[in-house]
Structures are given as C-alpha cells and as structure tokens.
Amino acid sequence: MNQENQKPLLQVRDLRVQFRLDKKHSTFEAVKTISFDIPHNSTVALVGESGSGKSVSSLAVMGLLPMDTTIIDPKSRIEFEGRNLLELSVTQRRDLCGKEISMIFQEPMSSLNPVFTVGFQIGEVLRQHMGMNAKQARARSIELLEEVGIPDPKTKIDAYPSQMSGGQQQRVMIAMAIACEPKLLIADEPTTALDVTIQKQIMDLIAALQKKHEMSVLFITHDLGLVGEIADHVIVMRHGEIREKGEVHQIFQQPQDAYTKALLRCRPSLDSRPWRLPVIADYMNGHGEPEIVLKERSRGYLPNEANLLEVKNLSKSFYTREGLFGRKEFQAVKDVSFVLPRGKTIGVVGESGSGKTTVGLTLLRLHQATGGQALFEGKDLISMPEKEYMHYKRRIQIIFQNPYASLNPRFTVGQILLEPMRIHSIGADDQERSEMAYQLLKRVGLPETAFHRYPHEFSGGQRQRIAIARCLTMKPEILVCDESVSALDVSVQAQVLNLLQDLQDEFGMSYIFISHDLSVVKYIADQVMVMHQGKVIEMANSDELYRNPTQPYTRALLSAIPRGLHG
C-alpha cells in the first residue's frame, strides 16, 4: 500500500461550529475545535448524548448546516481524499455529497417525500448523479431494493412511504444512500425508533453493505451497546468536545475518560439488576469510580399476592370499510389476560404491531374494548358507566411515549400540573394545589423555577419528568408507561428509571411497562408478557423468562438485544 492510500478517507481538523442566536450577534458554540479521521474501509462510531455536537459535526461534513445562521471557523478543515470540502462551491459540494458521500437520516418518515413512490425517489438519485434514463433508473432501483432486503421489490417499487413499515422505510433510505456506491456513508441514529429485531436487521445490513462495497461508515448514536457490534473505532463527544477516541476494544475494555465509563455503565445490563442505575453525575462529580450501592434487586411475583388489577380475555378490534356496505375487521388485541399485584411491574414486550400499546390504551378506555374484563379491586373498568369511571380515572394514569407531543405547548408547567387537580377537585384551592405542584417538581428532580416555564424550554428527559409529575398529581395506583424511556439518552433513561423505581418503593405504585427495549424491561419488570400479532405467547417472572424462554419468537427477541462488544 502506498503512502497516498494510507491517508484517511476523511480528515476533520480543528472543526469549530457556532450558530447565530439573534440579530445582536449572540452565538452558541455547538462544536468546539475537534479533530478526527475516518480511515478507508472502516466503521467509525461517533457517540454522545443529545446536544453533544455529533449530528452537527456530520451535517458540517455534508454541507447541510443552515448557511444564514452557521459560522464555521476559517481555520477549520474537512478534507475528503485530500480536497477541503469547506473550500468547494455549492454546486461542487452537492455533486460530491450525493455521489461520493451520502447520509441516512434518523427519521425516515420525515426524510422520504410522502407524495412520491419510493421507486421515484431512489430513481431521482440515480438520474441526478449517475445520468441514468428512467428505464435504467427503475431497473437499478429494483436491484437496490432487493439488496437492502425489501420483499417483492418489483411491486414495492411503486409503493408510497406510508404503505411501508418503519423498518422498510429505513431500508429505502439506505437504498437511496448506497445508490451511487459512495465511499463514505454517514448513518445518523438510523435505528433509534425501531424494534430490537428490526434494529438488528438494519445493523447487520449496514455492516454487510460496508464490507461488500468497501466503503467507510460514520455511525452516529447515543447507544454504546450498538457501537460494540459494528464499529472499528469510537469517538466519544460531550458538550461539543471529544472526550475520548480509540479502537473499539480499547474504549470498551479500558475506557480512560469518566464520561465514557458513565455511558458504558448507565445502560441496564442483562447480567445484573443493581438497586439503582448509575447516572452520569455519579462519575463526573467525583474522582475515579463512584461509590454506588450496587446490591442486586430481586424481582418477580410472589405466591398468593393480592391482585390490584385482573385482566381477563381483553380484546380490541378495529374496522375499516370494504366495498359499499361491508367492513373488514382487524383484531389488534386477542383474548389478553394478566394480573398485576400492588407495588409490582408487568413488562409488555413485542414488536411494532404486536398490540402492546393497544392493551394500555384500552385499559384506560382511550380505545373502546370489544370484549373482556379489567377488574380493578373487583370492579370492571371496561363496562362501568362513564360517571362511575370518572372516580377510577384518577387511579390509573398513563405516561405517553413522546413527551414533545403529550404536553400542551401553550401551558406553563404550573398550568399543566394544576389542570388535572382542578378537574378532579384535588386540593382546597389553587394555593394549596400550587404547593403540591412545587413538591411534585422537587420529587421528580426539577427546580421550582420550572413552574413558570413552558415545555419547549426543557430537554426531552426533563419533559418526561414533567409528564410523570402530571400523572402524580392524581396520586395514581397504576401507571401505564408506554415506551416512556425509549426516546431518551441512556443517561437520562437511567435517571427516569431510577425515579420510577423510587416512586414505586415509596408509594407502592403498580406499573404496566410497555417497551421494545428488552434490557430496560429486564431491569424494571417483575413479570414479562410477550405479545405477537395481538396475542400473549409467553408470560413468566422476568428472571425465568430471560433465562429460559420457551417460545421461538421470544428467543428471537432476546437474541437481537445489543450486547456490547462484537466477537
């Protein structure tokens, strides 16, 4: 190999990115003079929490940062095969960053155009950068769809994005990204919102394509578990700075930086269940390893426990019109039965479309059940009149998946917390309610000043804490957690899980914990219920189910969990 080939494919040197905040020339420094390399034919993982600067760094490489508000330091260099990308014209950059460098974005639904077929969108890349005609582009698009594992590509090429599942949409994005056989593929959180099995398929696909096309991959994520399975080199970022970088084995086995150690320890492990999860602050505030009480927490239903909730043969169907007078039935939930004792957690797992969220929404009467019972202290929540159910509505609450959509952006946090207390006549007057709200904010780890602020002023993890505080205004006995930590960074996820556990220990609350993250479910659930196509296919105490799953579907779910370092 000659000296030229030994040079990295991409060299980033002294990259400094600032954003203008207002007309007074106030700026925010998102990336603080970082340098790193991406060698030929290798995978480099860029790891960090939200706000670390990892996505900004990748967008700087692609030339996709907003030109009117972005300031890139003149001393910064981004060299691709010896050419400084920052010195190219817009046209030259566009030609290069569609053909030689391409990107898979985090959210396929917002990246794919809903009014064009997937075939047209892949073909557009080929026509633009490869000069193909319509017939050639269509034939190549079918080959690409087949390469990324889309079933029946000759038919699917004419489908619209809305007619495909989340995993298939992400595969289409990958097909578009590799259409011109780029030398560098940037993947920005490509599996964040996907089920564990689909996530594994996408990870395996990216790894296989990287080897087949001998391209380099810059893989951006906040999950170190994924990194160990795909990366050769790791770069850890925090607050716009690189904290540590090195080969993947060195980062996993001998991390040097306290922040890297914290990221590795925050995520729940399948091998242990500590009394509380470590958080970033445990490592960053002290020197060396923190003194954390890591005694094991035992889980499981005990014999002869009194049940707070008993669900029998719960069913839910949705109907669509078929023909002029007919209708078609889709059974989302089929004869689901389970029990929930006081102070315990049942984990509900399964892929998208398995019916797990529908179970939670039907229990809260946000969907109308088509059959079955939900006995809460002997009273059936499903069949009782609305007036009688109003009393029980306080006692069973839900934390939704998306804290950005579940909080009213026009209400202050104080108004969000006071509203349910007024509706249910909790507290004598607004002064007493406000005092209770301040106590709840303190309880979920937010300052008193949060009372007068709006949801958009908070991070995702803080918004989820506000959503939990809102639920606690009702003093519920059962809390349905619908993917309530799936969108959070691992460190924030650990904080929220610790909070939920503290509340359960203090108030004896019971949880129905719905999630596709099996590591989190193993940590927090006493019993696990596995759902597939609307049915319960397996249920057992969590330790038993993870140790000895009886169903092939459960074994497939468990085998897809990221386990850190690849072999």
3-state DSSP call for residue 38? strand
The letter for the amino acid at 7 is: K
Domain extent listing, the chain: 1-100+222-254, 396-473
CATH 3.40.50.300 matches 1-100+222-254: yes
The whole-number pLDDT of residue 107 equals: 73
The whole-number pLDDT of residue 237 equals: 95
On the 0-12 / 13-18 / 19+ scale of CB atoms within 10 A, 133 is: exposed
Give the CA-trace dihedral at 336, 341, 347, 350, to 10 degrees: 0
380 bridge partner residues: 375
The whole-number pLDDT of residue 4 equals: 46
- Biggest CA-to-CA distance, the chain: 81
Contact yes or no for 523/306 (Cβ under 8 A): no
The whole-number pLDDT of residue 288 equals: 52
Cα 36 to Cα 58: distance, rounded to the nearest angstrom: 12
Q: Name the strand (E) or helix (H) holding 95.
A: helix 90-99
Cα 350 to Cα 535: distance, rounded to the nearest angstrom: 10
> What tens-digit pLDDT sequence spans the chain (567 residues)?
444 457 899 999 999 999 998 777 788 999 999 999 999 999 999 998 888 899 899 999 999 999 888 999 999 999 999 999 999 998 999 889 888 999 998 777 778 999 999 999 999 999 999 999 999 999 999 999 999 988 899 999 999 998 887 778 888 999 999 999 999 999 988 887 677 888 888 888 999 999 999 999 999 988 887 888 889 999 999 999 999 999 999 999 999 999 998 888 888 888 888 888 888 888 877 655 555 556 788 899 998 888 999 999 999 999 888 777 788 888 999 999 999 999 999 999 998 788 999 999 999 999 999 999 999 988 999 999 998 998 888 899 999 877 777 899 999 999 999 999 999 888 889 999 999 999 999 888 888 999 999 988 887 778 888 998 999 898 899 999 998 887 677 888 888 899 899 989 988 999 999 998 888 999 999 999 999 999 999 999 999 999 999 999 999 999 888 876 544
Contact yes or no for 43/232 (Cβ under 8 A): yes
Cα 109 to Cα 169: distance, rounded to the nearest angstrom: 7
Angle at 77 between CA 76 and CA 80, to 5 degrees: 160
Whats the size of the chain, residue-wise? 567
The whole-number pLDDT of residue 347 equals: 96
| Complete edge-to-edge strand list for the sheet that includes strand 510-514 | 396-399, 478-482, 510-514, 345-349, 527-532, 535-541
HSE of 43, CA atoms in CB hemisphere, 13 A: 23
Cα 532 to Cα 527: distance, rounded to the nearest angstrom: 17
3-state DSSP call for residue 185? strand
